[in-house]
């Protein structure tokens, strides 16, 4: 998934899901394909963070886990938004105040919207 440096670098990114209870979907390979959040030529990049993950990707991964979710490098909080949409507990850690504030706002908004997915 993803695209860290459009258009010059490979369009894949490693993601580590650490914990117990991860249920991989055996019908799929280890490479998951999701529409990346891309800056388009002539358009402003509409993301809150330079390495922001697509929320559906985080939701896909989280839905295959159990228990509370911790993202120690929360960035702009996409993992927290996915947790809110799934009704899951979330702890986020972010060193940059700017991104921490954006994450709080995004997660708060998602929580106010309520659980969107079973």
Cβ distance to ligand SAM smaller for residue 66 or 101: 101
Q: Torsion over CA of 4, 10, 12 and 15, rounded to 10 degrees? A: -60
Cβ distance to ligand SAM smaller for residue 27 or 51: 51
CA distance 10 to 2: 9
Q: Which of 102, 21, 28 has its CA nearest to residue 66?
A: 21
Cβ distance to ligand SAM smaller for residue 66 or 96: 96
Q: At its nearest, how many Å lie between ligand SAM and the CB of residue 73?
A: 3
Provide the residue count of the chain. 118
Q: At its nearest, how many Å lie between ligand SAM and the CB of residue 58?
A: 7
Q: At its nearest, how many Å lie between ligand SAM and the CB of residue 114?
A: 22
Return the SS3 of 93: coil
The secondary structure of residue 70, as a DSSP letter, is E
Instruction: Provide the binding-site residues for ligand SAM, judged by CB under 6 A.
Output: 49, 51-53, 73, 75-76, 78-79, 93-96, 99
Q: At its nearest, how many Å lie between ligand SAM and the CB of residue 15?
A: 9
- Which pair of tokens denotes residue 28? 């799929």
């Amino acid at each position: 998934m993803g695209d860290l440096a459009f258009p010059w670098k490979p369009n894949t990114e490693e993601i580590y899901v650490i914990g117990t209870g991860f249920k991989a979907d055996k019908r799929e390979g280890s490479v998951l394909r999701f529409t990346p959040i891309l800056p388009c030529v002539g358009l402003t990049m509409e993301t809150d963070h330079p390495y922001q993950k697509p929320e559906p990707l985080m939701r896909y991964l989280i839905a295959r886990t159990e228990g509370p979710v911790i993202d120690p490098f929360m960035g702009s909080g996409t993992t927290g938004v996915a947790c809110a949409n799934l009704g899951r507990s979330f702890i986020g850690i972010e060193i940059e105040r700017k991104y921490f504030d954006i994450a709080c706002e995004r997660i708060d908004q998602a929580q106010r919207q309520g659980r969107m997915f079973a």
